[in-house]
Chains A and B, each alone.
Chain A
Amino acid sequence: MAGLNMVMNDEAFKLVEAELQKLIEQVNGKVIFLVDKNGQMIASAGQTKGIDTTALASLTAGNIAATAGMAQLLGEKEFSILFHEGEKDNIHIALVGTRIILVTIFDSRSALGIVRLRVKKAVDSLGPIFEDIFKKSEKDKNSKQTSKSPFAEITEDDIEKLFG
């Protein structure tokens, strides 16, 4: 997987967002988001205002990575579900395929059993969407069509301007 970029187009993004929206309604959750295992936020749904989703995404990926390390010490490949219970809010974390993490934050208005059930179904729906995204990214990489890249006409001035 070295050097492979994940590219998400409008069509895939809409499919993913629709799945997240459906899930948040089904579980009556507060916030749902998808993160890649590198810690980058992919999409979210629910009451994200007031939550530092970027930091949460990074820490979630760190959490999954550390847990996978623990699993390997026990001879497991990885643990596919993590659950953190708080006084008010709970976090349910599930893997979608091998590279994506689905995070569901919910409170006492939801039940863990329902969350687990619905998340499992959502994972089944999201899995093929991401498989398709990765296949397309791999195909683009192999075809070396750099002309389509948003970086194709980049200049050093563009980069300098980023830093003010």
Chain B
Amino acid sequence: MSFINYSAREINCKIVYYGPGLCGKTTNLQFVYKKTDPDNKGKMISLATETERTLFFDFLPLSLGSIRGFKVRFHLYTVPGQVFYDASRKLILRGVDGVVFVADSQVERMEANIESLQNLQKNLAEHGFNLGTIPYVIQYNKRDLPNVIPLEELQKVLNPKGAPYFEAVAMTGTGVFETLKEIAKIWYIFFLFRTQSVILYLYAFPLFPGSSVGRAGGC
């Protein structure tokens, strides 16, 4: 649910980074925070345990600029990835405008990826969404590690419907902003075309010529 304030000429959008524990959701936000102009960002809030695992959520407000005279503000959230924090994940998905699913590319984390993706689908359904009716991007993180699953296999298992995807190394920033830009673009399109029929059409055909929006894309 985006919030548009015509009086203040502001548009607010909530993007949630979802994925299994230790897949790199917080690292994504930390990189965005580090690389964003101080004038454009608020304070990053991390509610973490003593071992730095996300307890409730991370929150990063970004004011990146104006479009057509409206100041656009992105509110980036992560969810706690650990299985037993499901109640927190459900709460954070409330009012979500777009989801980035961060998958861990390591062989031994495939089962956790599948479990987390199923959990996302279940929790989205409780809010009246599914992955075809909400702006959605997949990020395959940790591509620099030696024991990663081939991209084709990840795609086959985690992205059979061909949502836009990016390979990433969040620690170094590879793919981080590409992912964020993509979810922002798709959010705009969904926002503009609010009927379900048009949204589904857009998955098959890009709106902008040469754009990766509306089709699968890599980095």
Chain A positions near chain B (C-beta within 8 angstroms): 1-10, 13-14, 36-42, 52, 54-55, 58-59, 62, 65-66, 68-69, 141, 144, 146, 149-156, 158-164
Chain B nearest CB, measured from A40 CB (Å) = 5
Query: Closest residue to B192 on the A side, CB-wise?
Result: A151
Decide if B68 touches A153 in the complex (CB within 8 Å).
Answer: yes
Q: Which residues of B contact A3 (CB under 8 A)?
A: 1, 128-129, 133, 194
The answer to whether residues A2 and B127 also contact, given A37-B94, A154-B192 and a CB cut-off of 8 A, is: yes
Chain B nearest CB, measured from A19 CB (Å) = 14
Chain B nearest CB, measured from A44 CB (Å) = 11
Q: Which residues of B contact A156 (CB under 8 A)?
A: 185, 208, 211, 213
Does B65 interact with chain A (Cβ within 8 Å)? yes
Query: Closest residue to A8 on the B side, CB-wise?
Result: B5
Contact residue among A9, A52, A161, A162 (Cβ-Cβ distance under 8 Å from B6) = A9
One digit per residue, 1 when the CB lies within 8 angstroms of any chain A CB and 0 when it does not, for chain B 79-106 equals 0000000011001101110000000000
The answer to whether residues A5 and B211 also contact, given A40-B14, A66-B91, A150-B11 and a CB cut-off of 8 A, is: no
Contact residue among B3, B185, B208 (Cβ-Cβ distance under 8 Å from A38) = B3
Q: Which residues of B contact A41 (CB under 8 A)?
A: 12
Does B70 interact with chain A (Cβ within 8 Å)? yes
Chain B positions near chain A (C-beta within 8 angstroms): 1-8, 11-12, 14, 37, 42-43, 45, 47, 56-57, 59, 61, 64-65, 67-70, 72, 75, 87-88, 91-92, 94-96, 127-129, 133, 177, 180-181, 184-185, 188, 191-195, 208, 211, 213
Cα distance A119–B65 in the bound complex, in angstroms: 35
Contact residue among B2, B65, B67 (Cβ-Cβ distance under 8 Å from A154) = B67
Cα distance A155–B208 in the bound complex, in angstroms: 8
The secondary structure that dominates the B interface is mixed
The answer to whether residues A10 and B6 also contact, given A38-B95, A144-B195, A150-B11 and a CB cut-off of 8 A, is: yes
| 26 A–B pairs (Cβ distance < 8 Å), ordered by A | A3-B128, A5-B1, A6-B2, A6-B3, A40-B14, A54-B61, A58-B45, A58-B61, A59-B59, A62-B56, A62-B91, A65-B91, A69-B87, A141-B194, A144-B194, A146-B193, A150-B67, A151-B68, A154-B188, A156-B185, A162-B64, A162-B67, A162-B72, A163-B181, A163-B184, A164-B64
The answer to whether residues A158 and B211 also contact, given A9-B6, A40-B75, A149-B192 and a CB cut-off of 8 A, is: no
The answer to whether residues A52 and B195 also contact, given A3-B1, A150-B68, A154-B188 and a CB cut-off of 8 A, is: no
Chain B nearest CB, measured from A16 CB (Å) = 9
Chain B nearest CB, measured from A58 CB (Å) = 5
Decide if B61 touches A55 in the complex (CB within 8 Å).
Answer: yes
Query: Closest residue to A16 on the B side, CB-wise?
Result: B7
